[in-house]
Amino acid sequence: MSIKSRIDRVDLRHFRFWFQLAAFVFLVYGGRLAIDLGNSLPTFACGYNSDGTPGVCYLLPLQHQLAQPWSRLFSPAGIAVLSGFGLFVLWFVVLNKAWCGYVCPLGTIQDWITAIRKRMGIPYSNYSDDHFNKLKYIKYFLLLALIFIPLAIGGQFISHDWGVPFCKICPARMIIPAFNGDFSQWTIDFTNNTKMALTALGMFITGLFLAGSFIKKRFFCFFCPMSAFHFIFSKLSILKLKKDGSKCTVCGDCYRVCDMQIKPIADDVVSVDILKDDCILCLKCVAACPEQGALKVDVLGKTVFEATRGGFSKRMGIEKNDD
């Protein structure tokens, strides 16, 4: 059996579990081994995890940099912003949105909460189509806010107390350091009204995150501005999720396994590049597809993993060795 056939028949659930676990350990504790990947990682390697993180989520330095005085931001010194952004794009180009599905520690925690729910035999919830289509814009609103609020600080329109606004409300700030025994972020800051409101909102969202992830798969990813930011640059990536509509029977298996409830993955038989803004590139859709070559993953135009009947049968436990 060729390597390609072996990959196509891989037990994706197990592979993903171990990959996510390794990425989680690396991004939450790797800093203690003096590993430093810089400040431009396209995933929630939370900067508030101080010594634990081997690199920092790009959203933190981005908000910091955009809050510089405009005289500095729009001067040659602003090149630092561009260089940080360039590094972010370079990291992102490699894995595309698989940063969310395979690397993001906050995403992994949500998957672990989902696993607990499954063990308890509690069914999950989904949004209605109407709610899905309305709520999906929240992540773009948050993305715009995390760009324009720091810019407004730099322009001296609002106070510096609004600094790193998204980090103040991001549950990763509370949850990731907690895995290193650091609960110092689990506080409301009463220094001033702005900080009090933002930190209180952050704690409230942490509560929503914990309960929401228990009810809805990948609850927070639906609202994550990093996901929206990824999607803007997803065309640049070397990793692509592709669909051959002519081979699709619209059976809906891909939609049923999708944690993000993306309907076009089943319904859209026209688009070739099928990656949608909510996609976390977990590839569960590819693994669940029974149609040969209907869904596939390409790296630089070369297919590395695709839906096969054999792979589907093996994963479903229908056939053992038939390709």
Partner 1 sequence: MKPYLTLIFLCLFFSSKLFASTQKLWFTDQSPDRALVKKMQMRHGGYVHVVDGIDVKQLWLRQGESLAKSNYVTSAIGEYVQVDVQENINVPKIDSETKQQSIRFPMPDEGFYNSYFIERLVNNNTLVVMSAKAETLKHNCRNGHKYDRNLVKPQKWSGAPLDIVRLRLPEEDFHTRIRSGTQLKFLILHYGEAISGVTVKLETKQGWINSTESDEQGIASFQVIQDNFFDAKKAEKEGKKVERGHGGRVRIRDSYLVSAEHKTSEQGSLDGLAYNKTEYTISTTGRYYPQQLASKSSEQALYFASAGILIMGIGGYSYRKRRIKPFKEETFDEH
Contact residues toward partner 1 (CB under 8 A) are: 31, 34-36, 38-39, 61, 64, 67, 69, 71-72, 77, 80, 84, 125, 128, 153-154, 156, 158-161, 163, 183-184, 186-192, 199-200, 203-212, 215-216
* Least Å from the CB of residue 280 to partner 1: 21
* Least Å from the CB of residue 25 to partner 1: 18
Contact 269, 250 (CB under 8 A): yes
Name the residue with tokens 């909102």. 201
Contact 43, 226 (CB under 8 A): yes
Question: In terms of DSSP bridges, do strands 295-299 and 302-306 run parallel, antiparallel, or are they unpaired?
Answer: antiparallel
- Nearest CB to partner 1, comparing residues 101 and 212: 212
- Distance, in Å, from the CA atom of 218 to the CA atom of 149, rounded to the nearest integer, reads 27
- Nearest CB to partner 1, comparing residues 31 and 225: 31
Amino acid in the structure at residue 155? G
- Nearest CB to partner 1, comparing residues 61 and 293: 61
- Nearest CB to partner 1, comparing residues 160 and 256: 160
* Least Å from the CB of residue 54 to partner 1: 8
User: What's the token pair of residue 144?
Assistant: 């715009």
* Least Å from the CB of residue 191 to partner 1: 5
For residues 123-134, b (16+ Cβ closer than 10 Å) or e, as one string? eeeeeeeeebee
Burial of 274 (0-12, 13-18, 19+ CB in 10 A): buried
* Least Å from the CB of residue 295 to partner 1: 29
- Nearest CB to partner 1, comparing residues 125 and 271: 125
* Least Å from the CB of residue 131 to partner 1: 9
* Least Å from the CB of residue 82 to partner 1: 12
User: What's the token pair of residue 218?
Assistant: 């990948």
Among 113, 100, 43, smallest CA distance to 260 is for 100
- Nearest CB to partner 1, comparing residues 178 and 299: 178
- Nearest CB to partner 1, comparing residues 35 and 316: 35
Contact 296, 308 (CB under 8 A): no
Name the residue with tokens 């729910």. 117
Among 76, 42, 48, smallest CA distance to 62 is for 42
Instruction: Give phi and psi for 296, each to the nearest 5.
Output: -155, 160
Contact 175, 106 (CB under 8 A): yes
* Least Å from the CB of residue 211 to partner 1: 4
- Nearest CB to partner 1, comparing residues 20 and 185: 185
